[in-house]
Structure 1
Amino acid sequence: MKKYIFVGYCSLAFCSLISAQDKSVNFRKIKELGGIEEYLYQPNGMNVLLLQDNASPVATVQIVYRVGSKNEVLGITGSTHLLEHLMFKGTTAFNKKNGNTITDVLQNTGAQLNATTWYDRTNYFETLPSDKIGLALQIEADRMRNSLLLKEDKEAEMTVVRNEFERGENDPNSLLDKEIWAAAYIAHPYHHSTIGWKSDIEKAPIEVLRNFYNTYYWPDNATLTIIGDFKKENVFALIEQYFGKITKAPKVMPQPYTEEPQQYGPRKIMVKKPGELGVVNKAYKIPGALHEDLPALNILGEIIGSGPSAILNKAFVDTQMGIYAYASATNFKEVGLFTIGVGFPTTSKHEDIDAKISEVIAKIQKEGVTQDEVNRVVAKISAQTILARDGSGVIASELTEAIAAGDWTDFVTGVDRLKKVTPSDVLRVAQKYLVDDQSTTGYFVPKQSGSNEGQDQAKASNFKPEKEPFYFRHPNHEKEGSFENEIAADNAIVKGTEEVTATIEKSASAYKREKVAGIDVVSVKTSAKDFVTVSASISLGNYANENKNLMVPALTTSMLSKGTTLNNKFKFSEKLQKLGVNININASTTKINIGFKCLKKDLDQVIVLLAEEVRNPLFDQKEFENLKQKFTGNVQQNLNDPSERGSIALTQAIYPKANPNYSSSVEEDLTSIKNATLEEVKAFHKKYFGSASMHLVIVGDTEGANLNSSLKKSFKNWNGGVVETMKFEEAKKVPSKTEVITIAEKPSAELYIGQYTGLKRADADYLPFYIANYTLGAGFAGRLMQTVRDNDGLTYNISSELGGNIETGGYWFVNASFNPALFQKGLDATMVQVNKWVKDGITSEELENKKTNLIGSFKVGMSTTSGMARTILNFIDRGLEPSYIEQYPKDIEKVTLEEVDNAIKKYIQLDKLIIIKSGSLDKNGDPLKL
């Protein structure tokens, strides 16, 4: 396989030597805006967008087809999405029979790849080392017209997509949202969700998919986007080479013409399923993304639904009527919904929440909004627009939605449209669109509470609903720059390898490390312009092992944003909002994580606000009681989550209570929340917040940012914190065990198979076992995905992972989701692969491919400031130097096949596996009878 890629690359290099003059004549320049050049490839009508940035050896190649679920009709809903899945199954040049599948070939270059389907478009993309642009173009051109689309592949993939559908049905908010769209739009094709109706997924024949493909997958219905490190003349030659032989569509592509009829009065729907919180969503019809009223509607959504100062937050969360509240406007091409949503404890009534939402709307329609509110939102979005464009992949994603909406230039001019919005515009759209007769209201009514049985873990995360596209393989897609989750032990390490100097600017020392105000600070200048990312951590030492209230760390960090002694929470939030900055501070039981991204010019102001937040929190009693209710509501939701229930049951089966990897039950967490006092929070803050163990990494345009002076000014004499060696009760391998957790009315069940390994990151066996695990189940080319998913069609997602704190001895586990009726078959198929992996090890070819993958992925992972900051922080938290970035690939290269195979046999005993089955299964693991 490596030979195949090498030969392909040589031919591409030769091609780049061909005279650009002979090729560029076919590319007619349409316009240039914001550094993006648009061309029309005249031989076949394909649009081409180029955004050149040669600072880092990474590029994103993306192709957007102007076909989505709106092009479907009843009986074939979900076909566009199912076709998207089949587009990875193989082409005439790239297929399993040849031993060079699309996912294998791309992943072995270190590429990140995926595809999404949405209402107005379908896109395919890969972010990869820039010397592989030609390979990406070759693949995209090949699957544009040469996809195999075999019936047997469709049959296997149908059950995969059905499982994706079932996973969505597990979530109350997702289910309610789908029902609201179906009720709000009865004729327009946005009526049905992108994933389609279950019966259509199951029954759509392969001929339907082939017809879709042959109707819409043509160059004159596509926009090819290339972002990053390239030379324009070379790209023209490559496009000519691979797309030049593809003609325009032979027929006119049909487009939907159904218009939504007039709505004569409000509509209401109700969904009753097991759950812990009530939900009211009120949605109003609005026009499409490029309509002149959309900027004002977007601003209205931000003013009433985003942040502590938001009207909905004051009306519901601050009064303890609700757990969360939000408002947002869709930005689809043709029509959309402006949705206001509130989740609330069962002590409140749906009708009361509904009436209160109407009161809030009536007040807005009467009083309007202020100029200051509009200014804050515009300033926030303006800054966040710059900050979000950290890496070619993120830019490509945003361009996708602008292309789908009908005009890619909105990616550049969108902020200018917002800046023209006045308070009178916001008042006008509120009065025009938030009309009861044009509304659809949805109630989610929880039928019953879950049963815990000591197997759940607290998860006090805020619900942030978003209408997002369906992904080819990954049901969860974390936004770049998010610091909401604890940094995983080796999540960033996979992407941290050689050639770091390609991104880091040369200096006397690429990594400047020094003590500043008692804080261990690492500064890395990169090619990023005008912004920086900061990632920091504070150790909690042995807090988790001292039998203290384990909810206090999370409660404490959440209280920090509830106001300071200098500014109440509204004023503090408004200051951050004007800068477009979110300071994320959260805690696990072992660590406090801090992160933000800001414009370089604003760094001093953000440091001042960070210091104010961590040094001078207000700790108001009323705010604390509100927060406890919010935590209680969020924790209760885990009762009906098969994934959470299964995961926690696994750790409880592996670890003793005195180990930091043990997860407490929902009852324990609810009791901890109830018993937590503000005095405990204050004492925790006083002891653990300080510079003693704090590491801080800043990456980006650091020259002239004056971080050190800002830290010295704002963190002078900041004392506190602990430096402790972790003490804990060691775990040990336990006898095999099978446990079933029964949760009613969940169409997708979760499987966990796991075992304690005791591996620590510093152990010599860690990297060999890490590579072994990566071969089994990490990434698109993992054995489990290629067999249980791709061959057998039994699951949407299956993975093999390493879990646990890297200092305390970790564990290994497999996780997959299955329809309850297919659960035993899925378990059996998974065990076939696990048994083979343990008994036979991996092959030498697999080892070389995984090494290439891990090392090559550096160029992708390190091309963003967020990725680099988290990776370096991960290193120094482990006691390593930042320069370990250069050593890591050498350590990977040194691993031998013998070491890998020995590690598997040493740490996995097939007779001591823990198996957890979680979902709508009876005590025997059979499907519940409904």
Structure 2
Amino acid sequence: MKKYIFLGYCSLAFCTLISAQNNSVNFKKIKELGGIEEYLYQPNGMNILLLQDNASPVATVQIVYRVGSKHEVLGNTGSTHLLEHLMFKGTPSFNKKNGNTITDVLQNTGAQLNATTWYDRTNYFETLPSDKIELAIQIEADRMRNSLLLKEDKEAEMTVVRNEFERGENDPNSLLDKEIWAAAYIAHPYHHSTIGWKSDIEKAPIEVLRNFYNTYYWPDNATLTIIGDFRKENVFGLIEKYFGKITKAPNVMPQPYTEEPEQYGARKIVVRKPGELGVINKAYKIPGALHEDLPALNILGEIIGAGPSAILNKTFVDSRMGIYAYASATNFKEVGLFTIGVGFPMTSKHEDIDAKISEVVAKIQKEGVTQDEVNRVVAKVSAQTILARDGSGVIASELNEAIASGDWTDFVTGIDRLKKVTPADVLRVAQKYLIEDQSTTGYFIPKQSGSQEQDTAQANHFIPENGPFYYRHPEDEHGHDKSSSEISFSELKNASEVSLEENAIEKSGSAYKREKIAGIDVVSVKTSAKDFVTVAASISLGNYASESKNTMIPALTASMLSKGTTLNDKFKFSEKLQKLGVNLSVNASPFKVNIGFKCLKKDLDQVVTLLAEELRNPLFDAKEFENLKQQFIGNTQQNLNDPGERGDIALAQAIYPKTNPNYSLSVEADIQNIKNATLDEVKAFHKKYFGPASMRLVIVGDTDGANLGTSLKKSFKNWNGGVVENLKFDEAAKVAAKTEVVTIAEKPSAELYVGQYTGLKRTDADYIPFYIGNYTLGAGFAGRLMQTVRDEDGLTYNISSGLGGNIQTGGYWFVNASFNPELFQKGLDATMVQVDKWVKNGITATELENKKTNLIGSFKVGMSTTNGMARTILGFIERGLEPNYIEQYPNDIQKATLQQVNDAIKKYIQLDKMIIIKAGSLDKNGNPLK
């Protein structure tokens, strides 16, 4: 019997091998570069990129179609993006009627999935446990040619996309940016925004979308990318199995041929809407991404617009003319814009800022840049290129843009192109492209200054955008790393540790090394990352949140640390970090100081030295402090016109008493606190709270030979300070039902918040059962709220539910959604129908098992990045847990019973005590403003 089985196994293996060999005949190898292999699947012309890394059991499957909004014509603008939404509605094999939607099936494996549309391409991707690669390939092949594209789905999704459009219209900067592109390019199809014009979104017939789909969605117009843990012969077999049935496109795919006519003079546009800051964006026409001048333009943008040493920061921010300033070059396939942007308080005039921008340009065109400046940017980008490729999902995203630009190898060779740039090249491109007659200048002029009659807002620091949005992007913000001075205070105000469920990892064979070094609680974890490490750290502020009179002091103190030390002024300090490609982030909430960085292993000692210098020896310059206060005030004022911020604060104020640290102050109160803050208070705060007493530090990555302990002992020797104390506070209590309206004029998208106090803490036995229950209701595309209020009713672009509150205090539960004001009441009603069912009936046994599989499967996905692991472990030890709780977490999820979950929902949510907040262009009764 044993012999028979053995022979049978050999026979099966032999057959599999022969099959793989036969399959490989259809795969013509084109080239290999940087570990990436390119193949052509000859039967249908599909391009394939493979990057194998078997260190972690995770893979990303991505398909990029070489069709974007530039392929649209008048009347069907936005079609690419609307079609991308419909591609999630299903096929005959995967659909809602069968109970196996694309999002359900993928999310139930623990996958992270989404899609984005841009000018030159559309991509679909899923990062998932590698044993589920076949499922991802099957789905992508299926929807390539079998998407249902039903009229009823289009009608529902149209209002979803329209709401996404309206959300963009809420933001002054994205609105200005869209207007600039429309004015700069009057003929080229980059003229229209990727999301399209509103009337086209509303009126495009389903036949137009089907025709678009049948024209461009073919294998010979696509690149299939697989990155991570796989075996090439297996992947070839799966591609043959699922894509082998699909032929090449039956017809030639039309390509846009319209060229932009010559521009004969400077153009100017003005946008007037409610707002708090003036904005100027000055944009100059430039060529496409693969043009020989783009590397020099990218370096020019970095030199004049990035970091404290940048000319724009020195000219506008340091002089207090502006709140922020930046410069950047787009890297689209055909043409683009080099944009200089400045946001400023209305004490400055648009014409003066405009003139000053022109002076900066003229100075660059006359004096050029130095070799040291070029070297510093090249060193920075070289290091950041390595550091950014942390996980298959990030690599897929970068490859996506390289594919869109016309040559995937630019992903590998882009740094080499940068290294060839000379100061003479930078001077030449500045003189060649930054020409006034080829410019388009946009003014955003606030129509009125907002006011807040009720305590319902808090501070937020604006992060400028580089160009238009990626539509249907996983996050709402993209394009910029947040420096320590740019971190959103609102993000930190009620921050708890990073959600375990978002960044959790599977049990690893690596040991968690924990020790005290220079008084710091240090955890080291070795992973498969090569040549780099990620560090996440925090310092507890003890009882500060309850005792303080000025909650802005921690954020101001943390931001001052990057403004120079007693050893290096802010320019020298910033330049040292820039050469290492490191973004050293130090920011603070009233609860703790957050610290983080990622660096090459060889540079760890230098970065630790700089971190110690920043933490221990800040300069605390008086002039810098006054400049910083102005920036904080200017950024905070913007929230007066932000329905999301105003609604969020109104909810916190309705749930918590003023004596609870989760209570949120108004915009006016935060601004007053900023104005009242003194440098002496900042110095006293730093002296008391900064130190090793409660500091925790986690390092993850290629830790062998990194010598972190030696570096910490050297740089933090004899460092004292910090506090070890528990947060004291008055606990909240469940309050009566309440409805409140926050009126903000001229906002095409309004925000809904529904919530109530639960009192749940992370350490409570009910926390995980309740978390699973909430996850079923409102987490991601597969949550009930998204599948009903969004997908069935078509009322919103985004709706979710979550748990909030500081980890040491009793938390709260909430639902958040955005609706057109005309549809607001209908959206609220639809939302409450689902909440009512959830509370009264609970979740089903099938839902419970699916969500368990989802949460546990996401461990494998989270394990693929050093950042996710470092932040998760830091969260554990902040809560008093051991790092190896990672190994227990799946068991805690698995053992939750249906009874426990449904009991927890009923226990903590009372339908008669809902707090409802409506924020946007609504009158006091919640009706749309006329």
TM-score in terms of structure 2 length: 0.97
- 8 A Cα contact 2:185 2:260, kept in partner: yes
- Give the C-alpha shift of residue 20 in structure 1: 1.4
CA-to-partner distance for each residue in 1:705-726, whole Å, 9 max, x for gaps?
Answer: 0000000000001100011111
Residue pairs, 1:713-862, within 5 angstroms: 713-862=714-863
Equivalent in the alignment of 1:255: 255
2:91 aligns with 91
Matched with 2:354 is 354
Cα distance in structure 1, aligned partners of 2:254 and 2:475: 31
Q: What is the Cα deviation at residue 13 of structure 1?
A: 12
Instruction: Report how many aligned residue pairs link the two structures.
Output: 912
Deviation of 1:463 (Å): 1.9
Residue 368 of structure 2 corresponds to which residue in structure 1? 368
- Deviation, 1:467, is 3.1
Match of 2:683 in 1: 682
Aligned partner of 1:869 in structure 2 is: 870
Moved more, 18-27 or 600-609: 18-27
Q: Cα distance, 1:457 vs. partner? A: 4.0
- How many angstroms does 1:67 deviate by? 0.2
Distance 1:314 1:13 in 2: 67
Aligned-residue CA RMSD (Å): 1.5
Amino acid at match of 2:401: E
Q: Which residue of 2 aligns with 1:100?
A: 100
Q: Take 2:362 and 2:422, find their aligned partners in 1: how far apart are those partners?
A: 19
Structure 1 residues 603-642: aligned runs within 5 Å: 603-642=604-643
Give 1:117 deviation, angstroms.
0.2
Aligned residues of 1:399 and 1:411 also touching (Cα < 8 A): yes
**Kept after mapping to 1: 8 A contact 2:535/2:698:** yes
Greater alpha carbon shift after TM alignment, 473-482 vs 152-161? 473-482
For 2:861, give the aligned amino acid: V
Alpha-carbon distance between aligned partners in 2 of 1:219 and 1:444, rounded to the nearest angstrom: 43
1:718 to 1:820, Cα distance in 2 relative to 1, 3 A: same
Residue 480 to residue 898, structure 1, CA distance change in 2 (3 Å): farther
The answer to whether the 8 Å contact 2:303/2:310 transfers is yes
Letter of the 2:764 counterpart? D
> What is the DSSP-based 3-state SS (H/G/I as helix, E as strand, rest coil) of the residue aligned with 1:857?
helix
Aligned to 2:644: 643
SS of residue matched to 2:452: coil
Letter in 2 for 1:627: L
> What are the equivalent positions in structure 2 for 1:196-215 lying under 5 Å apart?
196-215=196-215
Give the distance between the partners of 1:681 and 1:474, measured in 2 at CA.
37
How far the C-alpha of 1:452 sits from its partner, in A, is 1.4
**What do residues 195-243 of structure 1 show as CA deviations (whole Å, max 9, x unaligned)?**
0000000000000100010000000000000000000000000000000
The answer (yes or no) to whether the contact 1:498–1:888 under 8 Å persists in 2 is no
Given that 1:15 and 1:237 are in contact with CA atoms closer than 8 Å, whether structure 2 keeps it comes out as: no
AA in 2 matched with 1:298: N
Seen in structure 2, the aligned counterparts of structure 1 residues 497 and 383 have a Cα distance that, compared at 3 Å, is closer
Alignment of 1:493 onto 2:495: no
Match of 1:878 in 2: 879
Amino acid at match of 2:718: N
Equivalent position of 1:9 in the other structure: none
1:552-571 alignment, distance < 5 Å: 552-571=553-572
Q: Deviations over 1:334-358 (max 9, x none)?
A: 0000000000000000000000000
Deviation at 1:478, TM superposition (A): 6.2
Is 2:515 the partner of 1:514? yes
Which amino acid in the other structure matches residue 570 of structure 2?
K
Match of 1:392 in 2: 392
Does residue 79 (structure 1) correspond to residue 79 (structure 2)? The answer is: yes
Segments of 5+ residues of structure 2 without an aligned counterpart are: 1-11
Partner SS for 1:137: helix
Structure 2: distance between partners of 1:499 and 1:480: 30
Supply the distance in 2 between the matched residues of 1:15 and 1:597 (Cα, whole angstroms). Answer: 47
How far apart are 1:473 and its partner, in Å? 6.7
Shift of 1:479: 8.1
Question: How far is 1:482 from its partner?
Answer: 6.8
Cα separation, partners in 2 of 1:15 and 1:552, compared to 1, 3 Å: farther
CA contact (8 A) 1:750 1:816 kept: yes
1:23 Cα deviation from its structure 2 partner: 0.5
Retained in 1: the 8 A contact 2:216–2:253?
yes
Partner of 2:243: 243
Q: 1:70 to 1:641 in 2, by over 3 A?
A: same
Residues 807-842 of structure 1, C-alpha deviations (whole Å, 9 max, x = no match):
100000000000000000000000000000000000
Distance 2:418 2:107 in 1: 39
Match of 2:8 in 1: none
Amino acid aligned to 1:647: D
Alpha-carbon distance between aligned partners in 2 of 1:721 and 1:873, rounded to the nearest angstrom: 18
Return the offset for 1:462: 4.2
Residue type of the alignment partner of 1:341 = G
**2 CA distance for matches of 1:110 and 1:282?**
44
- 1:653 CA displacement: 0.4
Q: After superposition, give the CA deviation of every residue in 1:38-74 in whole Å (9 maximum; x if it has no partner).
A: 0000000000000000000000000000000000011
Letter in 2 for 1:606: V
Q: CA deviation at 1:453?
A: 2.4
For 1:482 and 1:353, how far apart are their aligned partners in 2?
A: 24
Partner residue in 2 for 1:711: 712
Return closer, same or farther for 1:803/1:581 CA change in 2, 3 Å cut-off.
same
Q: Which moved more, 1:650-659 or 1:449-458?
A: 449-458
Separation in 1, partners of 2:192, 2:822: 26
CA contact (8 A) 1:540 1:592 kept: yes
Deviation at residue 154 of structure 1 after TM alignment: 0.1
The residue type paired with residue 893 of structure 1 is: Q
Partners of 2:566 and 2:620 lie apart in 1 by 9
1:777-805 Cα offsets, whole Å, 9 max, x none, are: 01110000000000000000000000011
Is contact 1:15–1:238 with CA below 8 Å preserved after alignment? Answer: no
Give 2:701's aligned residue: 700
Residue in 1 aligned with 2:669?
Answer: 668
Residue equivalent to 2:25: 25
The one-letter code matched in structure 2 to 1:93 is S
Describe how 1:366-445 pairs up with structure 2 within 5 A: 366-445=366-445
Which residue in the other structure is 1:317 paired with?
317
Kindly provide the amino acid, as one letter, of the partner of residue 919 in structure 2: S
Separation in structure 2 between the aligned mates of residue 18 and residue 533 of structure 1, nearest angstrom? 44
Question: Per-residue deviation at 1:806?
Answer: 1.6
CA contact 1:71–1:189 (8 Å) conserved in 2: yes
C-alpha displacement of 1:498: 6.5
Match of residue 130 from structure 1: 130
Runs of at least 5 residues in structure 1 that lack an aligned partner in the other structure: 1-11
**Residue 857 of structure 1, CA deviation:** 0.4
The answer as to whether partners of 1:116 and 1:469 remain within 8 angstroms in 2 is no
Q: 1:184 to 1:248 in 2, by over 3 A?
A: same
- The offset of 1:548, in angstroms, is 2.0
Distance 1:717 1:15 in 2: 68
**Residues 457 and 665 in structure 1, CA contact (< 8 A), matched pair in contact too:** yes
CA distance in 1, matches of 2:220, 2:22: 22
Q: How far did residue 92 of structure 1 move? A: 1.4
Give the whole-Å Cα distance in 2 for the aligned partners of 1:13 and 1:565. Answer: 68
In the alignment, is residue 913 of structure 1 matched against residue 920 of structure 2? no
The 5-angstrom pairing of residues 452-463 of structure 1 reads 452-463=452-463
Cα pair 1:922 1:928 within 8 Å, conserved: yes
Q: 1:289 to 1:628 in 2, by over 3 A?
A: same
Q: Which residue of 1 aligns with 2:4?
A: none
| 1:630-672 alpha-carbon deviations (Å, 9 max, x no partner) | 0000000000000000000000000011111100111111110
The code of the aligned residue for 1:886 comes to E
Instruction: Determine the C-alpha separation between the residues in 2 that align with 1:263 and 1:398.
Output: 33
In structure 2, what is the Cα distance between the partners aligned to 1:14 and 1:742?
71
Give the match for residue 192 of structure 1.
192
Question: Take 1:290 and 1:823, find their aligned partners in 2: how far apart are those partners?
Answer: 46
Aligned counterpart, 1:525: 526
Asked if the contact 1:560/1:619 (under 8 Å) is kept, the reply is yes
The answer for the alignment partner of 1:926 in structure 2 is: 927
1:155 counterpart SS class: helix
State the shift of 1:14 in Å: 12
Residues 479-507 of structure 1: CA distance to partner in whole angstroms, max 9, x if unpaired?
A: 89978555954644114656431xxx54x
Whether the 8 Å CA contact 1:481–1:597 is kept in 2: the answer is no
Query: Sequence identity of aligned pairs in percent?
Result: 83
TM-score if structure 1 supplies the norm length? 0.97
Alpha-carbon distance, 1:18 to partner: 6.0
Cα distance in structure 1, aligned partners of 2:590 and 2:62: 41
